[in-house]
Structure 1
Amino acid sequence: MISGLDDVIAAETMLSDVDGLNGRLVIAGHSLDDLAGRTSYEAMLALLLGEFLQADTAAITRNLAAARREVHAYVEGIDAAILALSPIEALRAMIARLPDGEDRDTAYRLLAAPAVFTPALLRMQQGLPVIAPSETLGHAADMLAMLLGTVPAEEQAKALDTYLVTVSDHGLNASTFAARVVASTRAGLTSAILAALSALKGPLHGGAPGPVLDMLDSVGTPERAEAVLAAELARGERLMGFGHRIYRVRDPRADALKAALQQLAKAGAVPAGRLALAEAVEGAALVLLRQKKPDRALETNVEFYTALLLEALGLPREAFTCVFAAGRVGGWIGHAREQIDHGRLIRPQSKYIGPLAA
């Protein structure tokens, strides 16, 4: 039996290719190295969904802004029961209220939903007034404006844009596969995205960036990095933000986000002590992992610099998975549409290993 379906090809896609051996990610025919920091999220959506949306970057920008305003009307329905949930569960509950369908209007609402609902939920949970979407800001800048209550600086908006682009698609991961399975039943895009969001919620998939900050907090100062991490490894604990199931070398998304974080630091948006601590922890972790597990490739992964970047932008760690969803929803919809247009009902076989009937 093939555990976890490793090496099983379950779909053909034009959306992304994850080259784990060489540490390379290609999205819609473009290397992530050429996209991150150079392409807006709206332009990324044009690459992933342009044919389906029948729109270029300019049109997607306009339509997505209109969708944010449309989705914002649902914020009035956020009640005490939803506010008592964790951010990711509250986001899932709100998306479940959106109409289902396979059309472009449904897609735009789903693209807008995480960027609108996440700031609204966070502000309401803090007792702050909700900020309405802007008609003129880009998607990343508007998400930050709705969260912070003020128009973000250019470098802040660019940093979040870089993050959304970087995580927009990543092959047939667990959440994307879940989206394709549901889409193959023709249940609708909203149903497919809810399935993907539920998979993303799991700590083995999208729920790990927050604990990176917990690890940094436990280290405290750069001088303590080696001793604290060595003790964690001795106890058999995992170092959060290191190692990936696919990549055998450094995760290219980590490089993209580290570069974005460094640009934020140059603008004074990252405390110098925090960045120095992160670099000390990263350096100590890589040395210790090579000593402790020389037979395994455990390099810095996307979670490490995701945590630092989103923290610097003012996002609470409990909402990191929601922001991940705000970027990955473009890929989910792309895969769902690909499955609808070119696939069939996904129905793999299982091998029975239980007792035989008498």
Structure 2
Amino acid sequence: MMEKGLKGVVAAQTSISLVDGIQGKLLYRGLDIGEVTKHYSFEETAYFLWHGRFPGGPERAQLKNELNQNRVLCDSMKEVIDHLPKGMDLMSVIRTAISSEGTEKYGWKPTISQAIRLTALVPSIIAYRTRRMAGKPFLSPREDLDHVENYLFMINGTAPLKAHAEALETYMILTLEHGMNASTFAARVTASTESDLVSAATSAIGTMKGPLHGGAPSGVIALLDEISQAGDPEKVIREKLIRGEKLMGFGHRVYKTVDPRAMALKERLLNMSGKDQWLDLALETERTAVALLQEFKPGRSLYTNVEFYAAAIMKAIQMDEQLFTPTFTASRMVGWTAHVLEQSEDNAIFRPESVYIGPERSMADVQHN
């Protein structure tokens, strides 16, 4: 029987990433994601996904220079953002602003320089809109800060604490890429028509906006808030499980065992133990929840997913909830552009079939109705 939503259908071959939900593996170009987060920065990992190799010293410096140059918002893009309705959600702002970037310089085929530009622009768009809506002046990007540090600086107005920047960088590395998900598929479908990279990215952003794909981990935030106020993780979690409530941040529709992204994030946070109360609370909550889940639901193998620790990080750095999905988008731009670049190397337009399930009717039937 045919599955809805193309589930189980192979749509493309890729060498960018492997998502193995049965064994709990996530590989970036063959490398385990845990090893990547231990040894490489956001910029180096982005370069790896685009080029298939890590940058040397001169290449690293060139990439940083290109990112710095492309972080600056031109006056026309600022004007576009300023004229958008005040009530427009931030994902729609990003989609519209990126769409306005589409000029004749973005043709077929896409280039890595274009990918770098779009990756550099998204954090600046987020920061510009966020500070304008808060009545604060926009801060120009700082060339001395790395990609994630600069993002936090432009939003908050101060250089971030090292522990916060490292935690967010780890999260953003882990969300750079995740196989043929809905937004990546949307980007590749658009690119398959030989449309430009901006159009493909706009398609992906529109797809990410949907709550079934890029939804913010607000449920996890609520759980951590409740536990913080009660001061007793076991009491709160046990009562929820007795009432049959779903424990937010545990279980994943793809990973049937541990989420490798959650494991990598947890390992980084363990090194920061004692440096932030919310990160410590998240670690204690996970230990308690996993033990209680095994007690209440034996054999279900319910573990933390990446959203759980993402929520703890966002809470620790005091990031507003409206910034969660946009921040996810800022990192995933790398994966989207890597897939579009790959699509362009051996392109074939996507043209799946549909199965008609309606009746056969005559003109007389239609006219009668």
* TM > 0.5: yes
| Deviation for aligned residue 1:144 | 1.2
What residue is the counterpart of 2:82 in the other structure? 79
Distance verdict in 2 for CA 1:251–1:106, change over 3 Å: same
1:338 counterpart (327, 342, 365): 342
Q: Is the 8 A contact 1:16 1:170 kept in 2?
A: yes
CA distance in 2, matches of 1:3, 1:218: 38
Determine helix, strand or coil for the equivalent of 1:172: coil
Cα deviations by residue, 1:254-298 (Å, 9 ceiling, x for unpaired): 1122233344444x3x22xx3454345434443454455556443
**Where do 1:248-259 residues align within 5 Å?**
248-259=256-267
Q: Is the 8 A contact 1:222 1:277 kept in 2?
A: no
Determine helix, strand or coil for the equivalent of 2:212: coil
Determine helix, strand or coil for the equivalent of 2:18: strand
Report the RMSD for the aligned CA atoms in angstroms. 2.6
Q: Is the 8 A contact 1:140 1:157 kept in 2?
A: yes
CA distance in 1, matches of 2:356, 2:292: 42
Unaligned regions of 5+ residues in structure 2, if any? 363-369
Determine helix, strand or coil for the equivalent of 1:26: strand
Q: Is the 8 A contact 2:102 2:199 kept in 1?
A: no
Distance verdict in 2 for CA 1:218–1:357, change over 3 Å: farther
What residue is the counterpart of 2:357 in the other structure? 353
Distance verdict in 2 for CA 1:83–1:50, change over 3 Å: farther
Determine helix, strand or coil for the equivalent of 2:249: coil
Cα deviations by residue, 1:196-229 (Å, 9 ceiling, x for unpaired): 1122122222213233102322444465545544
Distance verdict in 2 for CA 1:161–1:343, change over 3 Å: same
AA in 2 matched with 1:331 = G
What residue is the counterpart of 2:189 in the other structure? 181
What residue is the counterpart of 1:57 in the other structure? 60
Unaligned regions of 5+ residues in structure 1, if any? none
CA distance in 1, matches of 2:51, 2:356: 43
| Deviation for aligned residue 1:81 | 3.3
Q: Is the 8 A contact 1:37 1:161 kept in 2?
A: no
What residue is the counterpart of 1:306 in the other structure? 310
Please identify, of 200-209 and 275-284, the stretch whose mean Cα deviation from structure 2 is larger.
275-284
CA distance in 2, matches of 1:355, 1:191: 37
Determine helix, strand or coil for the equivalent of 2:302: coil
- Number of positions where the alignment pairs a residue of Structure 1 with one of Structure 2: 353
Distance verdict in 2 for CA 1:173–1:147, change over 3 Å: same
Q: Is the 8 A contact 2:97 2:125 kept in 1?
A: yes
CA distance in 1, matches of 2:75, 2:240: 44
2:102 counterpart (84, 99, 119): 99
Q: Is the 8 A contact 1:242 1:301 kept in 2?
A: yes
Q: Is the 8 A contact 2:115 2:337 kept in 1?
A: yes
AA in 1 matched with 2:170 = T
| Deviation for aligned residue 1:142 | 1.0
| Deviation for aligned residue 1:40 | 1.0
CA distance in 1, matches of 2:318, 2:168: 11
Q: Does 1:66 align with 2:74?
A: no
Distance verdict in 2 for CA 1:128–1:280, change over 3 Å: same
Could you tell me the percent identity over the aligned residues? 38
Q: Does 1:239 align with 2:247?
A: yes
What residue is the counterpart of 2:178 in the other structure? 170
- Structure 1 stretches of 4+ moved >6 Å: none
Q: Is the 8 A contact 2:273 2:280 kept in 1?
A: no
What residue is the counterpart of 2:216 in the other structure? 208
Normalized against structure 2, the TM-score is what? 0.86
Distance verdict in 2 for CA 1:115–1:207, change over 3 Å: same
Cα deviations by residue, 1:66-113 (Å, 9 ceiling, x for unpaired): 111255873354226344222222222222211252334432221112
Cα deviations by residue, 1:333-357 (Å, 9 ceiling, x for unpaired): 0111111221310111111112223
Cα deviations by residue, 1:291-342 (Å, 9 ceiling, x for unpaired): 5555644321110001111222232122111111111110000111111221
CA distance in 2, matches of 1:294, 1:61: 49
Please identify, of 286-295 and 252-261, the stretch whose mean Cα deviation from structure 2 is larger.
286-295
CA distance in 1, matches of 2:129, 2:259: 31
**Where do 1:77-226 residues align within 5 Å?**
77-79=80-82, 81-100=84-103, 101=106, 102-221=110-229, 225-226=233-234
Decide which structure has the larger Cα Rg and report it.
Answer: 2
Distance verdict in 2 for CA 1:263–1:287, change over 3 Å: closer
Normalized against structure 1, the TM-score is what? 0.89
**Where do 1:277-316 residues align within 5 Å?**
277-290=281-294, 293-294=297-298, 296-316=300-320
Please identify, of 240-249 and 96-105, the stretch whose mean Cα deviation from structure 2 is larger.
96-105
Distance verdict in 2 for CA 1:238–1:192, change over 3 Å: farther
Q: Does 1:328 align with 2:332?
A: yes
CA distance in 1, matches of 2:329, 2:354: 31
What residue is the counterpart of 2:365 in the other structure? none
Q: Is the 8 A contact 1:20 1:248 kept in 2?
A: yes
